[in-house]
Amino acid sequence: MKLLVIGGGNMGLTYAKSIAKNSSDATISILEKSPEKIQELKKDTSFDIYNTIENCPKDIEIVLLAVKPQVIQHVFKEIASFINNKQLVISIMAGITLNTITQGLNCLKVVRAMPNLPSQVGAGVTGYFASEKVTNTDLIIVTQILEATGSVIKVKTEDQIDAITALSGSGPAYVFYFMNAMMEQAKDFGFSEAEAKSVVLNTFLGTSKLFESSDVNATTWMERVTSKGGTTHAALTSFNNNKLNSIIKEGTLAAYNRAKELSKD
């Protein structure tokens, strides 16, 4: 597998390192324009680093687009002549549709993927959707690449990529928001920053492992830990009275609507 990563930022480098670690036959190159970033990449990695598309290997089989969506039109102009219809193009850019990529690069085989922040530690969630010309053999390779950073889900429609963006793409921020609120309350109780982090972090880790280890749904787990008139019941009653469930759903919907807006821009 001969892969070219366009963009050597956090996510591009995350995929390059993860693929190299999980695939013994992968030959990985990175195209990066920033001189400062190039120096960093050369110090910290063993990948071949290029600053112009003309210098990149001509036998690249897979191109991974890992640049900011705001610069994609400039990137299209720079790399379009390099792309051919045999290559598989995988995009991890938020809001850039298959149609935009297909037209911008005049290519056929395109996969649109949405990873999330925990991909940086191999615990990510990535949803993806492929164009019609992507073959079953290609999809095996796509899954191999994306699974290098965590779990993968193939969505049924491209529209669901926007839903994945709202759920798992933005989701880590929701979790951090809740954790931060709990830590602030812990410090109000007199715990130190380190103690607050330990208590909240391990509560989330332990609960996640418990949820993962069984087929019991979240509602049933809440019922199991809640005694009528007890402390958990008091907290959940407060959440319900303040319509926290609806607030969380409304926030996620706002993220989804924004993702759709970005796709149209």
Q: Where are the domains of the chain?
A: 2-156, 171-264
- One-letter identity of residue 8: G
- CA dist 211 and 100 (Å) reads 39
b/e burial code for range 16-51 (CB count within 10 A of at least 16 → b): bbbbbeebeebbbbbbbbeeebbeebeeebebbbbe
- CA dist 216 and 127 (Å) reads 24
Output the six-digit token pair for 17: 């390192």
Q: Would you say the CATH fold of 171-264 matches that of 2-156?
A: no
- Reported as half-sphere exposure (CB side, CA atoms, 13 A), residue 7 has a value of 23
Q: Is 248 exposed, middle or buried (0-12, 13-18, 19+ CB in 10 A)?
A: middle
**What is the tens place of the pLDDT at every residue in 140-194?**
999 999 999 999 999 999 999 999 999 999 999 999 999 999 999 999 999 999 9
Question: 2-156 architecture in CATH?
Answer: 3-Layer(aba) Sandwich (3.40)
Output the six-digit token pair for 209: 């492992």
Q: Taking the model in full, what pTM does it have?
A: 0.88
Q: What is the pLDDT of residue 260?
A: 86
- One-letter identity of residue 6: I
- The ranges of the chain with pLDDT < 50 are none
Contact 130, 111 (CB under 8 A): yes
Which of 33, 32, 3 has the alpha carbon at shortest distance from 18?
3
Which fold, 171-264? ProC C-terminal domain-like fold (1.10.3730)
Residue 82: partners with Cβ closer than 8 Å, 6 or more residues away: 53, 56, 60
